[in-house]
Structure 1
Amino acid sequence: MRTWSRKNSLSGVKIRSEMDAREVAVLRSLVESVIGLLSDRAAGAPTDELAAMTGLRTGHTTPPEDAALARLLPDFHRHEPSDDADTANLNGALRGLHEPEIIDEKVRSSRVMLDSLPASGGKIALTPEQAEAWLMSLNDVRLALGTTLGIDADTPDVLDEGDPRAPHLDVYHWLTWMQDSLVQVLTP
């Protein structure tokens, strides 16, 4: 992949780069996996009679058990040891109200990325709005992959060859570089 560049044209600003077929395949697979996680979560939401009568959508009131999904859909308020049951109830209520729209936006951004990826590699030209969607989707993929690999502040930049996470860490670093390059181009 080439670094992102910003080009002004008669049709407006375009954010450009290029990917080979292998890079597109890896990125497409990761994005589709995140969409799958989010879609399964949305499909498993409990039904609510009042919501059905009013047309409101509701989501889960409990956090996801899957660590990667919990990282993508964190609580609205961080639990502290001194918190009481009201904090858990507040998180559940906020999650139930807002999680469907959050999932919708994450899936929408991921679909924008998938729709703008060249099928077998090649040039990419994004509008600023599409580039923002890419940033959201890249962030979600990085969060999910990083959680799955157990990446934290103490993880070295390079792992031993025998570590089963080593090849995946390279992908994580590639996603980080791609996201950083895109942020640099979008920042005035």
Structure 2
Amino acid sequence: MARAFVRDGARFVAVLDETERVVLAGLMQQTRMLLAPEVEPTGDEWGDLVASLGASLKGDRAGGADDERDPALDRLLPVGHRGDDAIAVEFRRLTEEGLRQRKSGNLDVAVERLRSARRGRVVLDQAAATAFVMALTDVRLLLGERLGLHTEQDADALYASLDELDELDEDDPTGYAVAWYDFLTWLQETLTTALMGETGPGV
């Protein structure tokens, strides 16, 4: 069972079990592949777990021409000017590649920290903690887009629809994705709190 991120001296430490680390690294790798489709995943440990989220989560497009652009990319790489298409296109041309690289770099750092955990302890220094928070933000944006969560009303409607089901099929990717969205939200909040200066007991 996960234990929240806490500050431990100059480090930030959480405890995540193997399944939590594998699935979280897999989701980060999926986000990384969306940002940089030419990058192939390494290893296959997480593949089956992430694949179990279903096609509705992974999407069926990875970019390319604007008419084929995955809408999740517009959440991860928002336009710079919503009132003028020409300005927005030029802003994207000038900035998108750098933004993709920065976000991909944050995800790489986060995946490396997850995979280097010892006895479940995910240990981050200040720079890695900042990258980890940003990586969690981008994974949540991707999951939110796949779940159709654009407003608080969307979230309320989704949770209400799940609550109305007498029994959720364990193979239902929506319920699984919502559970992971909630987990990511909680984990990000604990790391953000630790980064803001609250000191917790040693882990």
TMscore range, shorter length: 0.7 to 0.9
RCO greater where, 1 or 2, for CA within 8 Å and sep 6 or more?
2
1:153 matches 2:152: yes
Q: Tell me which residue corresponds to 2:70.
A: 66
Q: What is the CA deviation profile of residues 84-104 of structure 1, one whole-angstrom value per residue up to 9, with x for unaligned ones?
A: xxx111111110011010000
Q: What is the CA deviation profile of residues 60-105 of structure 1, one whole-angstrom value per residue up to 9, with x for unaligned ones?
A: 89587211112111101123xxxxxxx1111111100110100000
Compare 173-182 and 66-75 and name the one that shifted more: 66-75
Q: What CA distance in whole angstroms lies between the structure 1 residues aligned with 2:173 and 2:15?
A: 29
Partner-residue secondary structure (3-state), 1:29: helix
Counterpart of 1:169 (choices 166, 178, 186) is 178
Compare 160-169 and 69-78 and name the one that shifted more: 160-169
User: What's the CA shift for 1:41?
Assistant: 8.1
**Partners of 1:15 and 1:127 within 8 A in 2:** yes
Q: Tell me which residue corresponds to 1:133.
A: 131
Q: Tell me which residue corresponds to 1:89.
A: 86
1:15 matches 2:8: no
User: What's the CA shift for 1:119?
Assistant: 5.4
Write the letter of the residue equivalent to 2:183. W
5 Å-filtered alignment, 1:9-88, equals 13-40=10-37, 65-79=69-83, 87-88=84-85
User: What's the CA shift for 1:25?
Assistant: 1.1
Partner-residue secondary structure (3-state), 1:76: coil
Q: What CA distance in whole angstroms lies between the structure 2 residues aligned with 1:91 and 1:61?
A: 15
Aligned-residue Cα RMSD (Å) equals 2.3
Give the TM-score of the pair, scaled to structure 2. Answer: 0.72
Structure 1 segments of 4 or more deviating over 3 A? 60-64, 118-121
Give the TM-score of the pair, scaled to structure 1. Answer: 0.77
Q: Tell me which residue corresponds to 2:195.
A: 186
Number of residue pairs matched?
A: 160
Structure 1 unmatched ranges of 5 or more: 43-59, 80-86
Q: Tell me which residue corresponds to 1:57.
A: none
User: What's the CA shift for 1:7?
Assistant: 1.2
Percentage of pairs with the same residue = 30
Q: What CA distance in whole angstroms lies between the structure 2 residues aligned with 1:172 and 1:146?
A: 8
Structure 2 unmatched ranges of 5 or more: 40-63, 198-203
Partner-residue secondary structure (3-state), 1:91: helix
Q: What is the CA deviation profile of residues 40-64 of structure 1, one whole-angstrom value per residue up to 9, with x for unaligned ones?
A: 289xxxxxxxxxxxxxxxxx89587
Question: Compared with structure 1, are the counterparts of its residues 119 and 127 closer, same or farther at alpha carbon in structure 2 (3 Å cutoff)?
Answer: closer
Q: Tell me which residue corresponds to 2:95.
A: 98
